Amino acid sequence: MSPKNSEIKVSLRNLSRHYGNVAALHDFSLEMTTGEMVSLLGPSGCGKTTVLRILGGLDPQHGGRIFVDGEDITGSTSDKRNMGMVFQAYSLFPNMTVAENVEYGLRVRKISPEVRRKKSMELLEMVHLSHRPNAYPNQLSGGQQQRVALARALAIAPKVLLLDEPLSALDAQVRVQIREEIRRIQLETETTTLFVTHDQEEAMSVSDRVGVMNAGELEQIDSPAALYNKPKTAFVASFVGVTNKIPGEIDGKGRVRVLNQKIDLSKNSRSAQEGEKVLALVRPENLEISSEFDTDAQPGLVITKSFLGPLTKLGVDLGTENLVYINMTSQEARKIDVGNRVSVKITSEELMVANV
């Protein structure tokens, strides 16, 4: 899933935007290479949609500059940017048929009717809707409408494709199907794409790189695997994937004392003073559970057991404020039941810590 080439297509430099005294975006910079699909992920209000709308020319920025193909487009309006956009809300023009919607951008560009028709049929074929060119939007399902919106956005051969949570209004099964279609089409057309979503599974599964945003700033941008395995901040570690927050304490050698173990601090973790109370961030797959007593492990009681297909998730009470969750294969989990006494051990060699 690597980018097609390393040529810089989009460069957002030091963007900022505020609403009154609230900074929606602060000194935000991002570069995208040609044909790359970058997702912006983050909680509501973190500024991810603001970035997309600024790039699309729909909202102004209060600072910073935007370059596409090396050209400064900071001051240009949305109709001059040639960026296709798919919105969260259904945005097909209700008075136009499917084909007319797809052809709209081409008609604006005064392309001949024959070429328009040919292009729209090609795109409808691509989104598997070539059998419904004369349907009106109100005759289509939500998933079909978003596929038409995607075809319409691609019809103008956009410099950048902007996807603003296009799947959030769809049901779970259709979401998975359409996100895979989006990725297939994006790879086929080699369109540089910025995808905004709050669903981490969605972002991780289709993107070349994922940027995690928090409070108007980009915390980390990396490949999905690097983001999950090597988070650079406590926020990323706790936001991406499931993370247990287990109380611990820093010892004299700069290690964290947690669950009867002493583990080195990750180099990405914030520094901490001796004796400081912290929360150790531990992934469920980095915890080992055993029904036998172990002096190096923490004893606990199994409270919940959730079957997830090949994996089973156990919730264990270790005497901490919250249950600690552990993933194990469903086959191994057969030996353990709710109410069993167990020992829990951390298997990772280094940990990140967050404030209590």
How many residues interact with another protein (rule CB under 8 A)? Answer: 36
- Binding of another protein at residue 48 (CB under 8 A)? no
Q: Which helix (H) or strand (E) holds 165?
A: none
- Binding of another protein at residue 157 (CB under 8 A)? no
Rule CB under 8 A: choose which of 136, 223, 285, 294 binds another protein: 136
User: Which residue do the tokens 């199994």 mark?
Assistant: 302
* Non-local CB neighbours of 286 within 8 Å, separated by 6+ positions: 346, 347, 348
Query: Of the listed pieces 27-35, 130-138, 231-239, 275-283, which binds another protein according to CB under 8 A?
Result: 130-138
Nearest 5°: phi and psi at 3? -60, 155
- Binding of another protein at residue 58 (CB under 8 A)? yes
Nearer to another protein, 102 or 126 (CB): 102
Please state, as a whole number, how many other Cβ atoms lie within 10 Å of the Cβ of residue 311. Answer: 15
Report which of 158, 160, 32, 55 is spatially closest to residue 105, judged by C-alpha positions: 158
Residue ranges in 67-106 that form contacts with another protein under rule CB under 8 A: 77-85, 87, 89-91, 93-95, 97, 104-105
* Non-local CB neighbours of 167 within 8 Å, separated by 6+ positions: 146, 174, 175, 178, 179, 197, 199, 202
Rule CB under 8 A: choose which of 14, 134, 290, 306 binds another protein: 134
- Binding of another protein at residue 132 (CB under 8 A)? yes
Burial of residue 1 (CB within 10 Å: 0-12, 13-18, 19+) is middle
User: Which residue do the tokens 């996100």 mark?
Assistant: 179
Query: Of the listed pieces 152-160, 205-213, 332-340, 344-352, which binds another protein according to CB under 8 A?
Result: 152-160
Instruction: Report in angstroms how near the CB of residue 172 gets to another protein at its nearest.
Output: 23
Please state, as a whole number, how many other Cβ atoms lie within 10 Å of the Cβ of residue 174. Answer: 17
Return residues touching another protein (CB under 8 A).
56-58, 77-85, 87, 89-91, 93-95, 97, 104-105, 108-109, 131-132, 134-136, 138-139, 149, 152-153, 156, 162
